[in-house]
Each structure stands twice: as C-alpha cells, then as structure tokens.
Structure 1
Amino acid sequence: MRFLNYGSVNIDLIFTVDHIVKGGETLQSTSLVRSAGGKGANQSAALAKAGSEVFHAGKIGEDGLFLLELLSGYGVDVSHIRRYAGSTGQALIQLDAQKQNAIILYGGGNSAITKQEIDQTLACFTGDDMLVLQHEIVHIDYLITQAKARGMKVCINLAPYDPSALSLPLQLVDLLVVNELEGAGLAGLDESASFSLILETLVGSYPDTQILLTVGKEGCWYGFKDKRIHQGIYETKVADTTAAGDTFIGYYLASLARGYSVEQGLSYASKAAGLAVSRPGAMASIPRKEEVFD
C-alpha cells in the first residue's frame, strides 16, 4: 500500500520555558530551536522511517525549502509539495519544565492549497492507496470525498479540533484518530467524559469507521463494530512529547501495511511513540524501523 499524506508542512520555533506563559506575562526562554514540523510532515516522516512508501502533498514558501531536503532524506517523496510566493506554515511551540507543550499555528501555505492542486495530485493515485489527513490544511471535506470517489482508503487525525470538524463527511473515513479532547468535542460530550463513553459514542456515530482514541499516559483505545482493544504506553523517560501522536499514527499505519494485526500495530505504534518522547525534537526524535519492528 502506498500512502498519500496531504498535510501540513511547518517551520517550528521551539522555546524552552519554565512554564507555559500566562496572559500578560513576559517570560524568558532558555533556548530557541528552529526545526521542521507540522502534523502532516511529522506523520510522513514517521511513515517513511517505518519503511512505508509515502508521498507528501502540500504547499510551502521559499522560506521552507530546507524542509524538502529534510523530508527527502527520511525517504518521503516530496514531488507533490508545491511552492508559492507566500510563507510556509509556522508553529510557535512552548516546551515547559514538565515537557508539556503549548502551540500557536499560522497556516501559511497550508491555507493556500487549491482544489485544482488536489485534483492534480489525486489523479496520480488509485484505490490501492490510502490518503492520510490531519486538520491543519484547507479543503479537508473535498479531499475526503474525492479520494473516496477514487476508491482510496482514508485516515484522518482530527487535530487540532474545532467545531468545523462536525461538518466533515467523517462517515466516509476508514480510520478516525482523535485524542480524548478531540473525541469529546466530536462526540458532543463534556471534556470530563470517560474514555469509554467517548469511544462508544464515536463508534455508534460512525459505524463504518474504525476509531482510534489516544489518551496520553493511559495509552489508547481501538473501537470498531464489536471489537475493543486497549494498548498501554511504552514506558520511557520523557524528554519531549511534541511528535508522540504523529509517530504513533505513522507506525500504526505502517504496521497495518506490513500485514500486522490491529493488536500488533497498536503495540508497535506504542513502542515507537515511547522511543520518540525519550528524545528531543519532532522529526528527529522519530525512531527508525530497526528500532521498533522485531
């Protein structure tokens, strides 16, 4: 299976701080790192490092040309990443002493993608391929419907979540990945709702869609039809959680493409994410396949 990841490509500016800045507060950062990021690009890097054939599609400005070389170096095909006269997407990331992060996004090229570009890219793929999406670019609804019209499978990581997600044709999606906050919002539940209630509500609302609910230190839950699987986390010393979820998704999809079962895929994905959080950085922290697969 080939993967087409139509997703965000960002320049990350990572500020190391004692705590996440509060309103009206000025805070001194102890370090500043400029690196590659974007949930889309991170997931493509994870898929490639896991040994999958992955094509990334998106849009960048001249300030983001270094990202092409970086992704290519991991094995990602970047021939569907277009350039334009504006800025590449940006992410301002605060990383606190407890290794938690707070992120501000600027869309840049991620918001300048056109339907014509989408049509041109999808024409290169078939029903044997999977489209991988996040919620950081425009025309997600169009991407889903057009990919399904071509017979492609679709996976969407509904992050970051906002109410516009409720209008997406998620009933067409094959795999929906959300964390507990995104899942609660989509399910119309309070953020304090139990994981089981969130999962059961989503499974009932989208009966033809596999649901993968990630719940931080509690691991993740898989739900589809009558099947329920819980996977715990892979215990490591945490250095940086920035790309944990993206690593998890990339390795889970890659595991399925290798022929592993859902249970095995969740186990390998948990191991990969655990290794990623034990290292600083985003793409650079994602482990290679030799570190994860038996």
Structure 2
Amino acid sequence: MAIWNLGSINADMVYAMPHLPAAGETLAASSLDRFLGGKGANMSVAAARAGSEVFHIGAVGPDGLWARERLTAFGVDTGHVMETGTPTGHAVIAVEPGGENQIILFPGANRALALEQLTQALSKARAGDTLVIQNETSLQAEAAELGRRLGLRVCYAAAPFDADAVQAVLPFLDFLILNEVEAAQLEQAIGKPPGAIGVRDVIITLGAKGARHIDGGTGAVQDVPALPVTAVDTTGAGDTFTGYVLAGLDQGLAMEKAMAAASRAAALMVTRHGTADVIPELAEVQAARF
C-alpha cells in the first residue's frame, strides 16, 4: 500500500534563544539554522523513513526548489509537488534550551494548491491506501471527500487547530490525530469528546505523558507511554509520531505496535535540533536504547 500526503512544505528558520521572547521583548538569538519543514513535509519524511511508499501532494515557490529536491532525497515521491508563483511557505521558530518553541507561520504556496492537481494525484491512489491531510494547506475538505469516495483511509492531523476546518472534514474521516490542547478545543467546539464524534480511530498525543488511542466504535482506550529522554527541541516531534504511526499501520502493524514505534521515533527526534532533516530512520529507532 502507499501513503498520500496533501501537505505543507516550509523553510523552517530555527533560532536558538535563551528563553522564549515575551510580548514587546527584543531578544538576540545565539544561532540560526534552516531546515526543511512544514507539518506535511515532516510527516512525509517520517513515513518514508519508517519504510512506507509516500507520495507528497503540495506546492513550492520559485525560491523553494531546494525543498522539493530534499524531499526527494529523503525518499518521498515529489511528482505531485508543483511550482507556483507564490513564495514558498516558511516558519520562524524560536527554541529555548529546554526544547519548548514558539512558531510564526507564513503559508505561502501551501495555500495555492489547485483542485485539478489534487484530483490528478489521487487518481493514481488505490483503494486501501492512506490519505493524510493537515490544516496548513488549501483543499482539505475536498481531499477528505475525494479520499473517502476512492476508498482511501482518510487521516486528519488537526493542526494548527481550526474548529470550522475540523468539522468540515469530520464526516469523511477514518482516523483523527490531535494533541491534548486540540482535543479540548474540539470538544468545546462540538460538545462531544473526541471518542464520541463518529471517527473510527482517534489518537491524542499527550507530550511527555505519551499518547492515547480511542476506538471510536467500542470506546476502548489504550495508552502508550512516552520514553524518558532529555528534550532539546520539540519542533516536529508530533509530526514524526504521526508519520511513523501511519507507516506502521500501512505496513500491517496493530495500532499498539505502530504507536510504540512512533513513540520511540518521537523520543529520538526531541533529542535533536531541527525538523524534517533530523527525523530518525527506522534502523535508528529499532536500535535505540532508552
């Protein structure tokens, strides 16, 4: 099977800071790095490094051809990544020594996707393949509806959180992944807890507490603990977890085993500075000792 990702592609400008700046504060950074990023690109790289065949559907501007080339080098099929006249999306990321971050996001080309591009790409998908979408591109609802019609397993990573965007895709979802804050926001918006919204599989990531799977059919809850590591940068950890979970399921793993592997990958990820470029490969995840 394969994973199709309608996903963002960003240049991540990462500034190492003594602490996260407060409102009105001017603060000097100690270093600057540029990485390939965007929630979509991160998930594609993670799923590819976990061993799945991954097709990325997205867009870059004339300034972003390096990003497409890097995705290709990481094993992601970029035949459906188009070049637009809109600048490539980018993120300005401040990271403090403890690993917490602050992010300013410019969507850019990620919002310039065309329906024809999406339709043409997904016409090559097979029933049973996985489609994953996030909130950093255009055409999310159209993709979810088309994916359902084609018999794909439709997964939605509900970040950055937008209640209207989530409700637009809910009728078409098989799988919803969100963090603890987003889960609370969703419940407030629709008046139901995530496990009672009619989605077959729901995962809530809980940061240092691990992750929780809720079976939308039976209500059964399964927790997978996080691994004890010293975090230096949490940017992209959730995307790494998502990519690894989807790859594990794509390769036939049970949910518990897919989540356990994803937890190991995310634990390694937070010990590194960077985003897509430093997502661990499967061999590293399997060999890691915690």
Give 1:167 deviation, angstroms.
3.3
Give 1:283 deviation, angstroms.
1.4
8 Å CA contact 2:54–2:77 kept in 1: the answer is yes
Give 1:253 deviation, angstroms.
1.2
Question: Secondary structure of 1:51's match?
Answer: coil
Question: Secondary structure of 1:168's match?
Answer: helix
Query: What CA RMSD, in Å, does the superposition of the two structures yield over aligned residues?
Result: 1.7
Q: Give structure 1 stretches of 5+ with no counterpart.
A: 190-197
One-letter amino acid matched to 1:251: Y
2:269 pairs with 1:276? yes
What's the counterpart of residue 195 of structure 2?
A: 203
2:210 pairs with 1:216? no
What's the counterpart of residue 245 of structure 1?
A: 238
One-letter amino acid matched to 1:59: A
Give 1:284 deviation, angstroms.
2.4
What's the counterpart of residue 262 of structure 1?
A: 255
What's the counterpart of residue 22 of structure 2?
A: 22
Question: Secondary structure of 2:260's match?
Answer: helix
Matches of 1:98 and 1:240 in 2, distance apart? Answer: 7
Give 1:166 deviation, angstroms.
4.3
Give 1:258 deviation, angstroms.
2.1
Give 1:15 deviation, angstroms.
1.0
Give 1:165 deviation, angstroms.
2.5
**For this pair of structures, how many residues does the alignment match?**
285
**TM-score of the pair, normalised by structure 2:** 0.94
Question: Secondary structure of 1:169's match?
Answer: helix
8 Å CA contact 1:165–1:186 kept in 2: the answer is no
One-letter amino acid matched to 1:292: V
What's the counterpart of residue 227 of structure 2?
A: 234
Select between 104-113 and 257-266 the one with higher mean Cα deviation: 257-266
- 1:161-176 equivalence runs, <5 A: 161-176=161-176
Give 1:68 deviation, angstroms.
1.5
What's the counterpart of residue 105 of structure 1?
A: 105
Matches of 2:277 and 2:195 in 1, distance apart? Answer: 34
Matches of 2:286 and 2:208 in 1, distance apart? Answer: 22
Question: Secondary structure of 1:237's match?
Answer: coil
Matches of 1:216 and 1:65 in 2, distance apart? Answer: 33
One-letter amino acid matched to 1:284: D
Matches of 1:267 and 1:229 in 2, distance apart? Answer: 11
2:138 pairs with 1:147? no
**TM-score of the pair, normalised by structure 1:** 0.93
Q: Identity percentage over the alignment?
A: 37
8 Å CA contact 2:60–2:68 kept in 1: the answer is no
Give 1:62 deviation, angstroms.
1.3
8 Å CA contact 1:44–1:76 kept in 2: the answer is yes
One-letter amino acid matched to 2:210: G
